[in-house]
Amino acid sequence: MTVDKSRGVAVASYALEPGDRARFGEVTIVGVSGDLRGAIEVRLTFAPGDIYSRRALVETQRAIDDLGRFSSAHIDLDRTQGQIVPVKITVTEADRHEIKLGAGAGYEPLTYEARVRGGASYVPADYPLWMLAADFRIAETYDHDLENPQAKARILFSALRYDFLRPRLTGEIAVGLDYLTVEAYTSKGPEARLGVSFPLGRRWLTARIGWAFTYLDFTGISGFLDARTRRQLGLGGNERLGRFDQAVTADLRDDAIEPHKGWFVSLRVTEGTPYAGGALHYVELQPDLRFYVPLGRVVLALRLRGGAIVGDVPVTERFFSGGAQSHRGFSDRHLAPSISGMVDGRTGSVPIGGREFVETGGELRIPIGHVWGYPVGVTLFVDGGDVPADADSIDPLNLHWAVGPGLSWKVGGVKIRLDAGYRVTRQSEPGFLANQTLHLGIGETF
């Protein structure tokens, strides 16, 4: 170091001599044995002797957490061994039994809904990479006159196998029963599905392939549907759907539940074919794009999603839009083609859905403070979309657009939203209230 006191300047010089780089040492796994220990070993992104890398430790931690079989997992380093860094992984196995129960209520501009959901899962002690589960959902929907109930019920039994055939590949088999009442009909019958999901080289890039089968009977068909319309929709008999599914997802959001930055892209392709056990031939495409941009404490969220069915159109696969998680300018499922008429002296309409749809829009998510210690925020949104009656008739320049504000309150980690939407284009009839909707929702819109 040289110092020039007359000028008040000191000059320091450093000479750096690089030595040998630190390397990973022995890896010790504590708290588990057998198959679970093997599952951790195949998720290690480094080996003894590899050059030390902080990124490798982070990727290993994420891979162990993603397995979902541990209540805690810690990676500790012994930095006292000089250039060799031994690694100790300590895990605590999660409970092998779990029971979930929940209930809720929803409000839509045209309906009320009450919901009950429950489930249980069990991990056999001798087969810790298997998980057996049961799930049931029951809901009842009424119009605002507390009439015209629509019942929904589902029970599903499933079995998951982690590291199925090879590491990080998850296999699934499920069977169940569905009972669903919508505006136009009631459907009921069994379902079955098989599938495998796996990463495509990167943790954030995943794929799924599978097979699904349903066999449904239709009852309670709305009187607004004449005999010709019933035949066109496929409500003249049973519906037997056998289909192959493929999906690719790229998820680079910082948080899947409440994202603040990043993006999400997915594409799902479904082929209905007799080779899968079905009676209909069709191909269904559904892309989904979402982007999240932080603007200080405010988040700008954008989305674009759509779908189309080519070939036969199963009545249970037709597209609908509208609702708290969709287009907030319409009630649930009411942005869709409908059939109008008169039954028993009463004029009305029934939504029947379309064979293609598009939804787009964005929102600003603005935190404003706390109430009783819980975060409160405001949302300003714009939603656009369309579900036309005919194929290839979506006009991107003539969508249904709605704008509005929302208020959210996050209690116990659950965000409760109240959104008010107002249709600014393609209004149903003159008047502010005729084109306004109010939605109660849980979680982010997208």
- The overall average pLDDT reported for the chain is 90
Q: Which strands, in side-by-side order, build the sheet including 70-77? A: 23-30, 84-93, 70-77
Contact 336, 349 (CB under 8 A): no
Residue 19 has pLDDT above 70, yes or no: no
Q: What is the pLDDT of residues 87-111, one digit of tens each?
A: 999 999 999 999 988 877 766 556 6
Residue 411 lies in a domain: yes
Q: What is the pLDDT of residues 325-349, one digit of tens each?
A: 999 999 888 899 998 877 776 777 8
- Is residue 260 very low, low, confident or very high in pLDDT (cuts 50, 70, 90)? very high
- Is residue 254 very low, low, confident or very high in pLDDT (cuts 50, 70, 90)? very high
Residue 42 lies in a domain: yes
Which of 77, 93, 109 is at the close of a domain? Answer: 93
Which of 93, 112, 145 is at the close of a domain? Answer: 93
Domain holding 52, by residue range, is 23-93
Residue 178 has pLDDT above 90, yes or no: yes
Task: Return the pLDDT at 128.
Answer: 92
Which of 93, 114, 134 is at the close of a domain? Answer: 93
Question: In 3-state terms, what secondary structure has residue 277?
Answer: coil
Residue 438 lies in a domain: yes
- Is residue 5 very low, low, confident or very high in pLDDT (cuts 50, 70, 90)? confident
d(CA 442, CA 414): 7
Amino acid 342 reads M
Total residue count of the chain as it appears in this document:
446
Q: Which DSSP string corresponds to 54-102?
A: HHHHHHHHHHHHHH--EEEEEEEE-TTSTTEEEEEEEEEEPPSEEEEEE
Residue 336 lies in a domain: yes
Task: Return the pLDDT at 14.
Answer: 78
pTM score, whole prediction: 0.84
Residue 2 lies in a domain: no
Residue 289 lies in a domain: no
Task: Return the pLDDT at 426.
Answer: 82
Residue with tokens 């296999």: 171
Residue 79 belongs to domain with CATH number? 3.10.20.310
Task: Return the pLDDT at 140.
Answer: 85
Residue 366 lies in a domain: yes
The rounded percent of the chain whose pLDDT value lies above 70 is 95
- Name the token pair of 120: 């249980």
Residue 302 has pLDDT above 70, yes or no: yes
Q: What is the pLDDT of residues 376-415, one digit of tens each?
A: 999 999 999 999 988 788 999 999 999 999 999 999 888 9
- Is residue 259 very low, low, confident or very high in pLDDT (cuts 50, 70, 90)? very high
Whole-number CA gyration radius for the chain: 27
What is the tally of structural domains in the chain? 2
How would you classify the pairing of strands 298-311 and 356-371?
antiparallel
- Is residue 201 very low, low, confident or very high in pLDDT (cuts 50, 70, 90)? confident
Q: Which string of b and e fits 77-114 if b means at least 16 CB within 10 Å?
A: eeeeeeeebbbebebeeeeeeeeeeeeeebebbbbebe
Amino acid 108 reads E
- Name the token pair of 347: 């004029």
Mean pLDDT of the region 297-314: 96
Residue 147 has pLDDT above 90, yes or no: no
Task: Return the pLDDT at 406.
Answer: 96
Residue 165 lies in a domain: no
Q: Which DSSP string corresponds to 354-411?
A: BSEEEEEEEEEEEEEEEETTEEEEEEEEEEEEE--SSTT---TTS-EEEEEEEEEEEE
Task: Return the pLDDT at 237.
Answer: 84
